[in-house]
Structure 1
Amino acid sequence: EWNRGELESFLVEITSDIFRVKDDNGDGELVDKILDKTGMKGTGKWTVQQAAELSVAAPTIAASLDCRYLSGLKDERENAAKVLEEAGLKEEIGSASHGVDKKRLIDDVRQALYASKICSYAQGMNLLRAKSLEKGWNLDLGEMARIWKGGCIIRAVFLDRIKKAYQRNPNLANLVVDPDFAKEMVQRQAAWRRVVGLAISAGISTPGMCASLAYFDTYRRARLPANLVQAQRDL
């Protein structure tokens, strides 16, 4: 169902396919039998390195990379789970989910995922724009969105709308301030905050959604407490 609406994309499609595969050699789903360590090809690292060199905020992309690093620490994570449980840490999933409306939660997660994806694509587009300015490439970001939709891992139906956003305003500072996307972000922020808040209360790591929400909340503020940081640097 999610792959027939605004979330329609290659990644949502294959995720749905994966969840449907049963384990032929036992009970349950095959995904639960796969080792929870993620491989890497280096593209995420290169992207985050470029963002740092160009002073472009890309916290969602960086969070996804950090998750891969942490997933690789399987032995350490197993030991940490044991040590912290012995120290008295208890799982909060049961108590946090008590009284939660399942149907509403599913819809909230859908909306939170969409808002988070907008932030992720916004960060990627801003990185491309910064590099284009540095190198004098004159990249057409709307055309980039069209090319991606033609076939790549991040292809998604809403790339058409990203293309139109840059056609309307080639100098668009950020996708979240495009009038159409801005309305959608505002409409979804309550659900987004509920999902992130519930995940935190339950002790469930959702670094991508958390990073995206923090990015959105920071970017939308006309004034930030960065003045204190600057005062500390000036002393």
Structure 2
Amino acid sequence: MSKSEIGLLGLGTMGAALALNIADNGFDIAVYNRTARVTQDFKATAGDLAPRITATETLEDFVASLKSPRAIILMVPAGEAVDQQIAALRPLLDDNDLIIDAGNANFHDTNRRAEAAGDKPFLGIGVSGGEEGARFGPSIMGGGNKASWDRVAHILTAISAKHDGTPCATWMGEQGAGHFVKAVHNGIEYADMQMIAEVYGILRDGMGLDNAAIAAVFDRWNTGPLASYLIEISARVAEAKDTDTGRPLLDIITDAAGQKGTGRWTAIEAQHLGAPVPAIEAAVAARNLSAARDLRQTGEDIFGGAPQALNGALTVDQLEQALIAGKIICYAQGFTMISGASEQFGWNLPLPEIAKVWRAGCIIRSVMLDDMATALSEDPDKNLMFASTFAGNLKATHGALRAVVAQAALHGLAVPALSSGLAYFDTMRTHRGTANMLQGQRDYFGRHGFERLDREGKGFHGPWAN
């Protein structure tokens, strides 16, 4: 019996879809799931792809079914489950067999696992695109030893999404670099989704549009500069009807958002790196606040409902322009964070290639990413807001963003991510800021010292120091 070229452990939604993608691209694959019935059902429903799939019921049989040197993809929940599977597999593997963690791991865990592996091959790869992407072509961000990536690159590039024929899969750097880039991708995703949700709220509560009209707005925007996967699916969500009641689906979905932690990791890591990502932080906070539904009901009972009709104070075109500005700002924050991590961890992360990998397959794919890849190729150290293309866009759109944030505030419409994005933009275009007051305060109560504009040196103090 011939052996499979690659193995996959964990047949949940993403794992099953990825395994079918691998088989669909002509590779023989062995699969294993802790529950044997899941493995059996997976192959039984694989249709024409079943001959390429070897279903195994024990770890020993799974390992034995693979060509040597072996390559095994783990698609299990991030955290302890990954460590448990690695511990179970290692005694069965040869020293040159490769383990690939393709889950949503925290990059610090990937760093630790890479160090624990020593000379034994280990990769941590970020996979984005949801179930559909995993099945038909995700964006793949590789991390670990380059030679280990090269061993399986022919498979990973084959199964990845393609943008004008270019695979959306590449090696990012050593150890946890791939999972770090995936985390920032998810942070940008949080901010992008939140900004869209905020604009949806203005269309619904401020302008009184029904779901069908909102879907039509998103559809129109998806033909212009905002064209992206998230705008596209926002239209589909807005127009959807509940199959049980026939009512508009959005009208019956609970307004409490879930999260798997990657956005939170991005916000936390940004603080460690000293790379501000306020739009992402606002989006994470907004999800946390969304869960406090009872508390928000108490607030409404005390203060009255906040949203008020705009009465023509804003136009749909202004909302589009505000979203364009917000999108540029949140991507700029994300790439600045990646640049900071590249320097901090010595990864030499390829920023232009990251933008290219995100052009198809992943959740944040957008027409803007072509121009972002070009801008980062010209000067990877420049904040995207200052690149000529996006500087021009922001000059044309930041006024609309300002109007949207201002009118939203005046009419009680919460727009935390758009507001944070605007504050970031205004801070980054103001040479003389207000931190001199902070330094004066710090010196007054703690004698921390400050620098002066009129002379060299550090450690100056105010008159209170005497």
Instruction: Give the TM-score normalised by the residue count of structure 1.
Output: 0.92
Structure 1 residue 225 and structure 2 residue 434: aligned? yes
Higher strand share: 2
Q: Which residue of 2 aligns with 1:18?
A: 237
Rounded Cα–Cα distance in structure 2 between residues aligned with 1:194 and 1:22: 33
Q: How does 1:85-96 map to 2 (within 5 A)?
A: 85=304, 91=306, 93-94=308-309
Q: How does 1:1-235 map to 2 (within 5 A)?
A: 1-26=220-245, 28-85=247-304, 91=306, 93-94=308-309, 97-100=310-313, 105-172=315-382, 174-235=383-444
Rounded Cα–Cα distance in structure 2 between residues aligned with 1:121 and 1:49: 17
How far is 1:4 from its partner?
1.2
Maintained 8 Å contact 2:313/2:407 = no
Rounded Cα–Cα distance in structure 2 between residues aligned with 1:29 and 1:36: 14
Rounded Cα–Cα distance in structure 2 between residues aligned with 1:185 and 1:56: 21
> Over residues 52-71 of structure 1, what are the superposed CA-to-partner deviations in whole Å (9 max), with x where a residue is unaligned?
00011110000000000000
Maintained 8 Å contact 2:329/2:385 = yes
> Over residues 87-133 of structure 1, what are the superposed CA-to-partner deviations in whole Å (9 max), with x where a residue is unaligned?
xxx64613xx22436xxx10000000010011100111011111110
Gaps of 5+ in 1: none
Letter in 1 for 2:293: K
Letter in 2 for 1:141: L
Letter in 2 for 1:109: L
Rounded Cα–Cα distance in structure 2 between residues aligned with 1:111 and 1:75: 34
Rounded Cα–Cα distance in structure 2 between residues aligned with 1:30 and 1:197: 30
Rounded Cα–Cα distance in structure 1 between residues aligned with 2:348 and 2:222: 33
Rounded Cα–Cα distance in structure 2 between residues aligned with 1:126 and 1:168: 15
Letter in 1 for 2:342: S
Rounded Cα–Cα distance in structure 2 between residues aligned with 1:109 and 1:134: 37
Maintained 8 Å contact 1:116/1:212 = yes
How far is 1:29 from its partner?
1.6
Letter in 2 for 1:62: E
> Over residues 151-170 of structure 1, what are the superposed CA-to-partner deviations in whole Å (9 max), with x where a residue is unaligned?
21111110111000011113
Rounded Cα–Cα distance in structure 1 between residues aligned with 2:354 and 2:227: 19
Maintained 8 Å contact 1:92/1:201 = no
Instruction: Tell me the secondary structure at the aligned position of residue 116 of structure 1.
Output: helix
Instruction: Tell me the secondary structure at the aligned position of residue 222 of structure 2.
Output: helix
Letter in 2 for 1:61: I
Where has structure 1 moved over 3 Å in runs of 4 or more?
A: 23-28
Gaps of 5+ in 2: 1-219, 445-466
Letter in 1 for 2:326: S
Rounded Cα–Cα distance in structure 2 between residues aligned with 1:70 and 1:81: 14
Q: Identity of aligned pairs, percent?
A: 39
Query: Does the C-alpha gap of structure 1 residues 4 and 210 become closer, same or farther in structure 2, counting only changes over 3 Å?
Result: same
How far is 1:150 from its partner?
2.5
Q: Which has the higher contact order (CA 8 A, sep 6+)?
A: 1
How far is 1:2 from its partner?
0.7
Rounded Cα–Cα distance in structure 1 between residues aligned with 2:256 and 2:356: 33
Root-mean-square deviation over aligned CA pairs: 1.4
Maintained 8 Å contact 2:322/2:398 = yes
Instruction: Tell me the secondary structure at the aligned position of residue 4 of structure 1.
Output: coil
Instruction: Tell me the secondary structure at the aligned position of residue 39 of structure 1.
Output: coil
Rounded Cα–Cα distance in structure 2 between residues aligned with 1:54 and 1:70: 25
Instruction: Tell me the secondary structure at the aligned position of residue 38 of structure 1.
Output: coil
